[in-house]
């Protein structure tokens, strides 16, 4: 893959944690800039395009870093089930915190599935190719930090009604009206969850 990218005349920086593989890259492609570091920790350079066959065990930390990074387009190979969660919408079994995290920061497309035999050695699971393009936060919310905390807690109790979780975990008084309080988080669009976050924020201001 590295060779194909270089053949197109791209200026490429590779990040590789394995020193043996990094050495092979440099021997095969003289002049290639190789950073021998852990991609979950090292400072990434700004880039137009980010491309990776992401190691499955570090997919989430790399994706979260990417969503905050300076890039124009990204193409990733991830586990098939992970890709399905990335693009899932409300009311589906794969809808999750991950779905919302991606939706709030990028336009994401699932481009298709790769069988295990596409890799050597073949993994035990199928993979998918996803493409992301960054975008601005797509809706208004009073407190984004509170919003993401709310998403985390609600999906941790996804089988409970919204109102029950808010009163137990966020201390929202019983008399305060909360949008969608008799629904479950898996039924709500990210924009609807923002309305709940704003109600919690206003309740805190009123009590403070």
Residues 118 and 62 in one domain: yes
pTM: 0.93
CATH of the domain at 56: 3.40.50.150
C-alpha to C-alpha distance for 65 and 126, rounded to whole angstroms: 24
The domain of 127 spans 38-134
Of 105, 134, 163, which residue sits at a domain end? 134
CA dihedral 88, 91, 96, 102 (to 10 degrees): 40
Q: How many domains does the chain have?
A: 2
Residues 181 and 130 in one domain: no
Of 85, 101, 134, which residue sits at a domain end? 134
Residues 95 and 160 in one domain: no
- What is the average per-residue pLDDT within 107-131? 96
Of 134, 164, 194, which residue sits at a domain end? 134
Residues 103 and 54 in one domain: yes
pLDDT given at position 31: 86
pLDDT of residue 208 exceeding 80 = no
Q: What is the pLDDT of residues 3-55, one digit of tens each?
A: 999 999 999 999 999 999 999 999 999 889 999 999 999 999 989 999 999 99
C-alpha to C-alpha distance for 183 and 192, rounded to whole angstroms: 11
The answer to whether residue 33 is domain-embedded is: no
CATH of the domain at 181: 1.10.8
């Amino acid at each position: 893959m590295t060779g194909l990218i270089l053949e197109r005349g791209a200026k490429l920086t590779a990040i590789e944690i394995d020193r043996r593989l990094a050495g092979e890259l440099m021997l095969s492609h003289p002049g290639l800039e190789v950073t021998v570091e852990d991609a979950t920790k090292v400072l990434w350079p700004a880039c137009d395009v980010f491309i990776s066959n992401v190691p499955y065990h570090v997919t989430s930390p790399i994706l979260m870093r990417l969503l905050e990074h300076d890039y124009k387009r990204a193409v990733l190979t991830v586990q098939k089930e992970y890709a399905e969660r990335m693009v899932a919408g409300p009311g589906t079994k794969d809808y999750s915190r991950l779905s919302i995290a991606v939706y709030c920061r990028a336009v994401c497309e699932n481009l298709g599935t790769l069988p295990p035999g596409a890799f050597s050695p073949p993994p035990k699971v199928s993979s998918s190719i996803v493409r992301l393009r960054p975008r601005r936060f797509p809706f208004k919310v009073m407190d984004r930090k509170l919003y993401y905390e709310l998403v985390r807690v609600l999906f941790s109790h996804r089988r409970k009604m919204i109102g029950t979780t808010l009163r137990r975990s966020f201390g929202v008084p019983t008399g305060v009206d909360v949008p969608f309080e008799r629904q479950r988080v898996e039924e709500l669009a990210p924009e609807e969850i923002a309305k709940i976050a704003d109600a919690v924020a206003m309740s805190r201001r009123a009590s403070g």
